[in-house]
Every structure is written in C-alpha cells, then in structure tokens.
C-alpha cells in the first residue's frame, strides 16, 4: 500500500486550495490536481474582475489561519449593509457607514475579486504543498477495494485512500462517483460588472429588491488610488430575457438605468466595465460522501447569489472536513466511512436549509402578490426594529458559530 496516497484533491480553487492548506498544517500532504493553469500575476493585478466575493468573518479567519490573507493583492472591507424594497417601505441596516478603511473590529467582512483570491491561494499552495499539479486532465475516477484509482490524460494512474471533489458546480468527481444531483433552474441570470459612482460607497454593501429581482452594490478595491471608495461590483438577478436586454444596452443607457433603479443612492453611475452574465441554478448533491470520497464547495452545492454566501459555505465545508479528518487521524484512523459521515451530517442539513431559504426569499422578493409584498415589508421592518433579530441574523451570516466546536474556533 506504500504507493497509495492519503488524499487527492481534484480542484484547486478557493475551497480545494483551502482544504489542502488546512490539511498540510495538520501534517497531511494531499496531492492537488487542477485543470486550470497558474495565473499570470501581472494580469491579475492590473485587470479588475467584474464581480467580487463577499467573504464572511469565518472565511477571513480561515484564510488567515493558512496565511493566504496577507498575500491578497487587494480587497475592500465593508462595515455596513443596507437592504430595502423598491416598492415598499421595508428597510434594514446592519453595521455602520465608514469614511475610512474600517478597522478590523468594525468590519463585517471583505470583498475580494475571485482572480485575486485564486492567485493568493495558488501562490501559497506552490510554497506549501509537495505535490500541486496544474493543467491536469482527469479522465476517470474509479472505486476499487479500499482505494480510488484516478486516471490522468497523460497515462498516469494515482491510487488514494481519499478523493476530495472540489471541482466546482459541474463536478466530474461527482459524476464519476454516481452521486445524483437535484437542480432548481431559477430561469434567472446574474448580470455583473464593476461600476464607478459619483458618490462614495462608505464601505456599505447595498441591496435593493426590485420587481425583477435583487440588485446588489458591493464595494470593491479600485485600481487607481484617486478613485478609491467609488468603485463597486453589481450583481443584478434578472429573468433571463431582461438580463439579455440590459446586457445589450450601450454604456450611456446602462448608466442611466442603474442610476434610476438605485434611486440615485450613490449619485450618477459614471463608468461601467463590460457586462458578464451567469445562469442561476441551485444544485444540491444528494450525498456529500461515499466510502473514501467527499464532495466540498460548489461540487456539493450551488446556492442563489442573493446572500453572497456560496464560497463562504464552501470554506465551512473545508474546515469541518479537515476538522473531522485530523481529529480521527490523532486516534490512528484515516478517512474512515464514519469520519466522512460526520462531515456530511454537520454540513448537508445546514447547506440545504440555506439553499431553500435563498430560493424562498428569491421568490418572495420577485412576486408582486399583495400578501407577500406586505409580509416582506413587515418582515424587514420587524427585523430593523429588534436588535436581537439583527444579532441573530449577523451571527448566522458571519459563519463563526459553525467553527465553534472545531480546531479552527475563533
């Protein structure tokens, strides 16, 4: 069994990379196989992404644990959140605005462009891991007796006691393991781009619920220091046909539309980068584990981007999986079926509940049925008036509660 590896992670994005680094810190060197090439550092630094990831306090804590956080080329902390209905009176505010970069104690989280985050993770993996391979094509993943066989396009065959599928929404590992998937097609698209507004964002993340769907304004770092505080990434959830129509508008018409739909909250929209569209589908794997195999991140679940939680719940998967694996390893047990089932038990119910509540909110916020409109306004007002509700919401959103009984507790 000497040529059998302890763990092979297929997919070295944020979630797979974080898992590999947490395992390495715990004394387990996993092999990481990724289809993508190493990113070009100069390009990542000089070109802004159209979208950002809203990282929770728990995700930031985990990235600091593996020393990736200090490698980020740029990020934009946010200290407040404002959510309101366009055709109603409900409004809710969390945290507070800030003129300066908020100190860590006032920060709700941070906005980071995906390529900036992936570059930092890749650089850390290159430093820390003994076997990190990029531009790898996996052609077959097969279950043997007590081992998994991984066949690569160059003819290499790897044998491992544990396969971790971290290969994103269209997971090949999930397919090869015959794990079924539940899919909910929202028939919506996420329209995203970076915009510059006339007024400062003041480190506030904003979300307006329009008839067509939620429109989010997320503060992002600027490439030009003189424009710092004026750039935001938008994520606009729209029915497919609206997304097509808005994406095709010329710059002037698009700026005007956004200015109007945002109630001039940030003054005129002055600039917008080319628009990108993402089809929105919720996906949930029916199982997260099989003997010797675990799915994490988008390979296991994809939720509506409404709450900006997709990658955060993936990072919590990584933390819980590493916690149970490293805990049992100290007792001399590696990747036993019961260890993996404890991971599934601690993550699947929570992730499914998050997915269903995002789908329900998405429906509530786009419907114009009077009782639903009333309920959502009433709901927002109730939450706004009760500090205890807000605290409960924030403690759910920051993810720290999930880490409480693990070796990564804050």
Ligand X SMILES: Cc1cc2nc3c(=O)[nH]c(=O)nc-3n(C[C@H](O)[C@H](O)[C@H](O)COP(=O)(O)OP(=O)(O)OC[C@H]3O[C@@H](n4cnc5c(N)ncnc54)[C@H](O)[C@@H]3O)c2cc1C
**From the CB of 318, what's the least distance to ligand X, in Å?**
9
- Answer yes or no whether residue 152 interacts with ligand X by CB under 6 A: no
Q: Which residues pair with 77 in a beta bridge?
A: 110
**From the CB of 114, what's the least distance to ligand X, in Å?**
6
Instruction: Report the candidate in 14, 18, 125, 116 with the shortest Cα–Cα distance to residue 72.
Output: 116
Per CB under 6 A, the list member of 78, 148, 172, 236 interacting with ligand X is: 172
d(CA 272, CA 104): 30
Label residues 330-341 b or e (16+ Cβ within 10 Å = b): eeeeebbeebbb
- By the 8 A CB rule, do 24 and 68 touch? no
Tell me which residues in 353-372 interact with ligand X (CB under 6 A): none
The 182-201 contact track toward ligand X, x by CB under 6 A, reads: --------x-x---------
- Answer yes or no whether residue 164 interacts with ligand X by CB under 6 A: no
- By the 8 A CB rule, do 283 and 182 touch? yes
Query: Nearer Cβ to ligand X, position 92 or 238?
Result: 238
Per CB under 6 A, the list member of 168, 219, 292, 362 interacting with ligand X is: 168
- Answer yes or no whether residue 311 interacts with ligand X by CB under 6 A: yes
Kindly state the number of chain residues that form the binding site for ligand X, as judged by CB under 6 A: 33
- Answer yes or no whether residue 214 interacts with ligand X by CB under 6 A: no
CA 176 and chain centroid, separation: 24
Q: Which stretch binds ligand X (CB under 6 A): 161-169, 180-188, 361-369, 394-402?
A: 161-169
Record the tokens describing residue 176, joined without a space: 């090869």
Q: Which stretch binds ligand X (CB under 6 A): 5-13, 101-109, 348-356, 367-375?
A: 5-13
Query: Nearer Cβ to ligand X, position 68 or 373?
Result: 68
- Answer yes or no whether residue 10 interacts with ligand X by CB under 6 A: yes
Record the tokens describing residue 172, joined without a space: 């090949």
The 40-59 contact track toward ligand X, x by CB under 6 A, reads: -----------x-xx-----
Instruction: Report the candidate in 197, 137, 183 with the shortest Cα–Cα distance to residue 10.
Output: 137
Query: Nearer Cβ to ligand X, position 53 or 238?
Result: 53
Instruction: State which H helix or E strand residue 75 sits in.
Output: none
Per CB under 6 A, the list member of 82, 160, 202, 312 interacting with ligand X is: 312
- Answer yes or no whether residue 14 interacts with ligand X by CB under 6 A: yes
> Which distant-in-sequence residues (6+ apart) come within 8 Å of 233 by Cβ?
49, 50, 51, 52, 111, 192, 193, 194, 195, 217, 218, 220
Greatest CA separation for the chain: 66
The 235-254 contact track toward ligand X, x by CB under 6 A, reads: x-------------------
**From the CB of 340, what's the least distance to ligand X, in Å?**
18
Q: Is the dihedral of CA 397, 402, 408, 410 positive or negative?
A: positive
CA 387 and chain centroid, separation: 27
d(CA 119, CA 110): 17
Instruction: State which H helix or E strand residue 207 sits in.
Output: strand 204-209
The 277-296 contact track toward ligand X, x by CB under 6 A, reads: -x------------------
Where along the sequence are the contacts to ligand X (CB under 6 A)?
A: 10-16, 33-36, 51, 53-54, 136, 138, 166-168, 172, 190, 192, 235, 278, 297-298, 305, 308-312, 314
């Amino acid at each position: 069994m000497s040529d059998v590896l302890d763990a092979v992670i297929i997919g070295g994005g944020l979630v797979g990379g974080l898992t590999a680094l947490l395992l390495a810190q715990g004394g387990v060197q996993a092999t990481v196989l990724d289809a993508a090439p190493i990113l070009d550092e100069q390009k990542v630094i000089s070109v802004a992404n159209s979208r950002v990831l809203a990282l929770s306090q728990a995700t930031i804590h985990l990235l600091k644990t593996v020393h990736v956080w200090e490698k980020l080329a740029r990020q934009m902390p946010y200290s407040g959140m404002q959510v309101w209905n366009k055709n109603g009176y409900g409004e809710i505010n969390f945290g507070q605005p800030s003129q300066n970069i908020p100190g860590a104690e006032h920060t709700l989280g941070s906005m980071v462009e995906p390529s900036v985050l992936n570059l930092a993770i890749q650089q850390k993996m290159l430093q820390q891991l003994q076997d990190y391979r990029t531009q790898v094509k996996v052609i077959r993943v097969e279950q043997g007796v007590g081992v998994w066989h991984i066949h690569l396009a160059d003819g290499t065959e790897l044998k491992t006691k544990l396969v971790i599928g971290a290969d994103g929404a269209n997971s090949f590992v999930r397919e090869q393991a015959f794990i079924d998937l539940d899919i909910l097609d929202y028939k919506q698209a996420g329209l995203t781009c970076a915009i510059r507004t006339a007024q400062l964002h003041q480190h506030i993340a904003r979300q307006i619920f329009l008839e067509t769907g939620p429109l989010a304004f997320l503060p992002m770092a600027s490439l030009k220091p003189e424009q710092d505080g004026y750039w935001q990434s938008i994520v606009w959830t729209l029915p497919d046909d609206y997304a097509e129509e808005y994406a095709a508008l010329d710059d002037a018409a698009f700026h005007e539309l956004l200015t109007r739909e945002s109630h001039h909250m940030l003054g005129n929209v002055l600039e917008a980068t080319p628009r990108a569209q993402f089809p929105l589908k919720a996906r949930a794997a029916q199982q997260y584990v099989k003997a010797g195999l675990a799915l994490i991140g988008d390979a296991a679940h994809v939720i509506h981007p409404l709450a900006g939680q997709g990658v955060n719940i993936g990072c919590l998967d990584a933390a819980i999986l590493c916690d149970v694996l490293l805990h049992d390893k100290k007792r001399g047990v590696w990747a036993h079926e019961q260890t993996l089932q404890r991971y599934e038990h601690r993550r699947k119910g929570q992730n499914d509940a998050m997915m269903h509540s995002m789908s329900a909110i998405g429906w509530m916020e786009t419907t114009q049925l009077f009782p639903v409109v009333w309920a959502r306004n009433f709901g927002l007002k109730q939450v706004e008036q009760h500090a205890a509700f807000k605290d409960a919401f924030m403690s759910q959103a920051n993810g720290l509660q999930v880490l409480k009984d693990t070796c990564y507790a804050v």
